[in-house]
Amino acid sequence: MELFDFTDKKDWDDFVRPAASYPLSGAISSLNSGAEYLQSWEWGEILRSEGEEIYRVGVREEGEKGGKTSGGGANNGRILAAATLVKKKIFFSYFYWYAPRGPIFSPSQAGKNGQAQRELNDFLFSEISRFRGRALFCRLEPREKIEGPAFKKTIDLQPAQTLLLDLDKSEDALLKAMQPKTRYNIRLAEKKGVRVIAATSADFSEFWRLMRLTGERDNFRIHEARHYEKMLQAPDNFIRLFLARYEGKNIAAGLFCSWGDKATYLHGASDNEYRNVMAPYLLQWSAIKEAREAGRRYYDFYGLDEKKWPGVTRFKLGFGGRRVIYPGTYDAVFRPFLYNLYNFLRRLRRLA
């Protein structure tokens, strides 16, 4: 096996899109969760545009010299794994790698619990430990549980649970699977005259106004405005903005990502007024219908947590669907002493 750099978007998509859609296996979930947009080429470019240092690496079998392979180079070996790595600085010249919702393994490797899978894991993280500098660890979010002395469970960065709708059903079947109150609120919004439109980056100021109102009202942290602007500037409608309008005013908004076989609800916001017309329900339903019509297989509400987000979680669960539970976030530790020091300093900062 050998580590290599991906340099071509098509090569990346040809591997990551189908490989990311294999069914999860084992005790955590046996259900397919669809493509992971955080490992998409487009998401990496959004992070790069914000100043992040991004690398895309793969593991392949060693093939015959002189052949052409995905990712470039003289090798025709089969690709076994890939990961977008984001470089996160810590202190001095030290840093760690972050593989959001990654790495992605080929379907032939996914779910293996034997020697072959362990060897691939060991090889991948051994090579990443020497990849371009002084990394303390690699923070990963695998689709399946990883075991071994070098892997330490840590605080989850991405939500540990999500809610998926299977879009191979008819609109009537999707509506029937919802909770009665959710169906009622969708119809109420329609009856009240709420309209949902596909907006553009020119409407960003309205989205930002609603995001700030929502963050203040519900007491949660929002990103800086430029982060959302960069998302909307991605090509090919990778991120789309929908606005819900009532009596000539924008009263709810949502950002949605479409990539591979899945559409994902990323961020939502609503006005403090007109909450009685239930615009967020119609906004979600419109996005679900749009994803289904575009041929997506799944709609991902992206994040459930009854303790941290009780109201939002109840809202999402009203649409039906099924839970997918991820194994969580792990650190593949390269430098144990410095890794323990980093965690100690991080705990001190949280206590301050």
Q: What is the tens place of the pLDDT at every residue in 92-135? A: 899 999 999 999 988 776 555 556 777 888 899 999 988 888 99
Assigned token pair, 113 = 């619990």
pLDDT, residue 74, reads 44
pLDDT, residue 148, reads 80
pLDDT, residue 121, reads 83
- Out of 3.40.630.30, 3.40.50.1820, 1.20.1270.10, 3.20.20.70, select the CATH number for domain 2-157+328-351: 3.40.630.30
Of 70, 135, 80, 87, which is closest to residue 104 (Cα–Cα)? 80
Please give the average per-residue pLDDT across 137-162, as a whole number: 89
pLDDT, residue 150, reads 83
Quote the percentage of the chain above a pLDDT of 90: 72
- Residue 318: is its pLDDT beyond 60? yes
- C-alpha distance from residue 237 to each of 99, 100, 162, 318 (Å): 24, 21, 23, 28
Q: What is the tens place of the pLDDT at every residue in 167-178? A: 999 999 999 999
Give the Cα separation of 328 and 326 in Å (integer). 5
CATH number assigned to the domain covering 162-325: 3.40.630.30
pLDDT, residue 145, reads 80
User: Could you give the 3-state DSSP secondary structure of residue 58?
Assistant: strand
pLDDT, residue 349, reads 83
Give the Cα separation of 194 and 186 in Å (integer). 10
Assigned token pair, 193 = 């005259």
Amino acid, single-letter form, for residue 160: A
Give the Cα separation of 59 and 156 in Å (integer). 25
For the chain, give every domain's residue range: 2-157+328-351, 162-325
Q: How many residues does the chain have?
A: 352
pLDDT, residue 120, reads 85
